[in-house]
Amino acid sequence: MTTDICSMTLTEAAAALQKKELTARAAVRACLDRIAATEPAIGALLHVDADGALARAEELDAQGPRADQPLWGVPVTVKDALSTKGIPTTAASRILENFVPFYDAFVVERLRKAGAILLGKANMDEFAMGSSTENSAFKPTRNPWNTGRVPGGSSGGSAASVAARQCFASLGSDTGGSIRQPAAFCGCVGLKPTYGRVSRYGLFAFASSLDQVGPLTRTVEDCGRVLTVIAGHDPRDTTSEPKPDEDFTLAIRHAGKSLAGVRLGVPRDFFGEGLADEVREACEAALERARELGAELVDVELPPTDIASATYYIIAMAEASSNLARYDGVRYGRRAPDVHTLDELYVESRSQGFGEEVKRRIMLGSYVLSSGYYDAYFRKAAQTRRLIRDAWCAVLEGCDAIATPVAPVTAWPLGSHATNPLQAYLMDAYTIPVNLAGLPGLSLPVGLGSESGMPVGLQLIGKAFDESTLLRVGHVVEQALPRIGSPGIPASH
């Protein structure tokens, strides 16, 4: 029975819960059993709130299903960068190892209001800095499709949790591809909404002008359902756009099976040198299927990815340096023992609390913001960012969406980039421009690599605040492609 429950999509589970064909307690119990069976092999979660989840399930069952709660009784997880009241939130960092927040992030409030049940917190790269979830201070996460490979990052725990059927959906955050890339590596659907669509209140900041919270799910329909819940204006976040609430499932329900009239821009430079053959094959096959469904594929030109990558890493590291200055050992978080001066407190608390990747990015960010280098690096990067956004928006004026691979390769072996962080940085080349431009991006599984046998993701990028078009197109393509199945995960008891 546990296997049957956990194999449901979120939409199927939500419908069964509303019809009382499934109880909230049974859904939570099935997920907890699945976590117990798979978690030792993949390490997707940093904290499991089993008692809290079961208690909430019993409360909901006693009250009965509510039609106005679209996620009533549905078990979910969230990335450990999102504040959760009474539940440890560490951002996978030793500097916050024992931190328990007294408030929920906006998106967690929304999930609870919609009736979802929070199972636990998903592992991540420390402070969302990484592309593999190997930079967690506590443990690496492994890919459920092959536990010798990475799940992607920084939301790798969220993607692995969904792929391993531990939950029905998860939330991640995306600064330069950190939802879309792990979704692609783990065979999930992942959406980075338009910047400002979802409130960042309660999200531990990495790069404030780039970060955005979004869902990871098993299907596009599930993705639309979760986005409907978490999107909305929040006056506590000054970057939150005052857009009216929108039901993103409508576009999916009315999608039909045709893409007639849809223009997809295809930047051929993204399909050239550096792209693995197995990724190219799967993405081009998916685009050909879209053509057969009636879509018009048009060649487009976009700024080179190396320019976007350089721009992104200057801006992201500068903002990281500024945001992480608050972790000083004084107000909250790790405080180094046996120190005698304020300077020693700062130095020792941060040296002991931050991992190598975080320290590397703080140092680089401090450098580009320093006197004499600010104009040469940060100001120039900010100007270039605007040109990149203008170029992408201009291309989107002539098409409904842009289609690219999510990553140049499939999931790589654990530890293979440990000594070469620059190589790992280049793995985000296809996703970074979307964050710089503030546009929405959807990652869709389109097959398994012919050589690696690992999932391949196609990225659909749309106009600002036009997530409905991405979800509609993604849903039609998803329904027309063969399903990639589920990962075979070694059970561990």
Catalytic positions: 79, 154, 178
The one-letter amino acid code at 347 reads: V
Q: What angle do helix axes 24-42 and 50-63 make, rounded to 10 degrees?
A: 160
d(CA 200, CA 204): 8
Would strands 189-192 and 212-217 be described as parallel, antiparallel, or unpaired? antiparallel
Which one, of 76, 198, 216, 208, lies nearest residue 153 by Cα?
216
28, 117 contact by CB (below 8 A) = yes
Which residue type, as a one-letter code, is found at position 353? G
d(CA 453, CA 449) in angstroms, rounded, equals 5
Q: Could you give the CA distance from residue 251 to residue 14 in angstroms, rounded to a whole number?
A: 19
Helix 106-113 and helix 220-230, axial crossing angle in degrees, nearest 10: 110
DSSP-assigned beta bridge partners for residue 77: 120, 170
* Spatial distance between the Cα atoms of 248 and 267, rounded to a whole number of angstroms: 27
438 residue type, one letter: G
Report the candidate in 121, 173, 114, 125 with the shortest Cα–Cα distance to residue 150: 125
Is the separation of the CB atoms in 218 and 7 below 8 Å? no
Identity (one letter) of the amino acid at 411?
A
For CA atoms 8, 11, 12, 15, the dihedral sign is: positive
Rounded distance between C-alpha atoms, residue 141 and residue 135, angstroms: 9
Name the nearest CA neighbour of 114 among 161, 73, 162: 73
Radius of gyration for the alpha carbons in the chain, expressed in angstroms and rounded: 21
- Residue 492 buriedness (CB in 10 A; 0-12 / 13-18 / 19+): exposed
> Count of residues for the chain?
493
